């Protein structure tokens, strides 16, 4: 893989991780268009690195919220402890699926554009329904966090947008749109960091020492920078109820992918 290819895929990951159009689906489309043999050998490694970049960009965007949360946890304040527990609850479905079905999940990322297309159409439907939902001031509850976590687990499928599905489910549950977006972005940070820790301990990232490091570095930087801007943009779009535009986009791209 060339540096240019890694930058392009990094930008795709950074933008689509936060914009509700499915980062995994677009990465699969990008890999198919680039048609590089690199991805057959180091697909998961590169994907982990790109997700790590977007996790860092999320931390940067929500640095004040995270700092306040950690401070509250240190002081054992009820509000922060309850919010942290909700994050933990939301992680359970995806963590269980990732642990027990890792090989099956990996097999889904095999360049099947028709499958990605159908999943993008489902994403489009979710976004359309969420955009039409009435805004409320309700906070995320514990049952809500579990249901949002199930949506996150389903979004492991390439073509189902993680941010789109979790925000859509949150809004459809009657949760405030801004709080829905914040919870959606914060809940994925522990999962990504946990996945990376697991890969390091299992030795899966040792391939970095035997591969060309530059493509990984530039892909990481591209995802980090584009992710930072996309995260801020998405927060504003959700607040202003502009998800229907992405529903149309996902529908069009989904149809193209099915017929490609």
Both tokens assigned to 106: 């990996």
Residue 222 CB neighbours (<10 A): 23
Note the pLDDT of residue 42: 58
Question: Rg of the Cα trace of the chain?
Answer: 18
Q: Is 135 left (phi over 0), alpha (psi -120 to 50) or beta?
A: beta
Determine whether 58 is exposed, middle or buried from the number of CB atoms within 10 Å of its CB (0-12, 13-18, 19+): buried
Please tell me whether the overall predicted TM-score, pTM, comes out greater than 0.85 for this model: no
Structure tokens at 99: 């642990």
CA pair distance 88, 143, nearest whole angstrom: 12
Instruction: Find the helix packing angle between 177-202 and 142-154, rounded to 10°.
Output: 60
Backbone torsions φ then ψ of 99, nearest 5 degrees:
-75, -45
| Cα 216 to Cα 76, 83, 109, 150, 201, distances in angstroms | 40, 34, 19, 31, 20
Q: Tell me the sheet residues that pair with 138.
A: 175
Q: Would you give per-residue pLDDT tens digits along the chain (260 residues)?
A: 678 888 888 898 888 888 888 877 777 777 677 665 544 445 667 777 888 899 999 999 999 999 988 888 888 888 888 999 999 999 999 888 877 776 666 666 666 788 888 999 999 999 998 888 877 778 899 999 999 999 999 888 888 888 889 999 999 999 988 888 899 999 988 888 887 777 677 665 565 555 567 888 899 999 999 999 999 998 888 888 788 888 999 999 999 989 87
Q: Tell me which residue of 26, 62, 64, 75 sits closest to 188, measured CA to CA.
A: 62
Burial class (CB in 10 A: 0-12, 13-18, 19+), 72: middle
């Amino acid at each position: 893989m060339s540096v240019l290819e890694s930058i392009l895929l990094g930008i795709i990951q950074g933008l689509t991780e936060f914009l509700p159009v499915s980062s995994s689906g677009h990465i699969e489309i990008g890999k198919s268009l680039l048609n590089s043999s690199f991805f057959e050998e180091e697909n998961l490694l590169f994907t982990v690195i790109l997700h790590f970049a977007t996790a860092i960009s999320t931390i940067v965007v929500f640095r004040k919220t995270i700092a306040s949360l950690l401070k509250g946890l240190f002081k054992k304040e009820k509000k922060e402890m309850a919010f942290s527990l909700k994050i933990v609850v939301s992680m359970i479905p995806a963590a269980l699926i990732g642990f027990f079905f890792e090989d099956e999940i990996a097999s889904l990322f095999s360049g099947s554009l028709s499958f990605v297309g159908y999943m993008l159409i489902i994403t489009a439907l979710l976004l359309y329904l969420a955009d039409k939902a009435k805004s409320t001031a309700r906070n995320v509850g514990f049952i809500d966090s579990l249901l949002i976590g199930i949506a996150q687990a389903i979004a492991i499928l390439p073509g189902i947008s993680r941010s789109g599905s979790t925000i859509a489910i949150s809004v459809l549950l009657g949760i405030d749109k801004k709080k829905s977006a914040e919870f959606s972005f914060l809940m994925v940070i522990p999962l990504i960091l946990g996945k990376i820790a697991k890969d390091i301990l299992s030795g899966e990232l040792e391939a970095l020492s035997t591969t060309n490091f530059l493509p990984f570095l530039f892909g990481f930087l591209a995802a980090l920078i584009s992710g930072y801007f996309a995260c801020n943009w998405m927060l504003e779009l959700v607040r202003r109820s502009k998800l229907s535009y992405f529903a149309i986009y996902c529908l069009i791209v989904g149809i193209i992918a099915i017929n490609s």
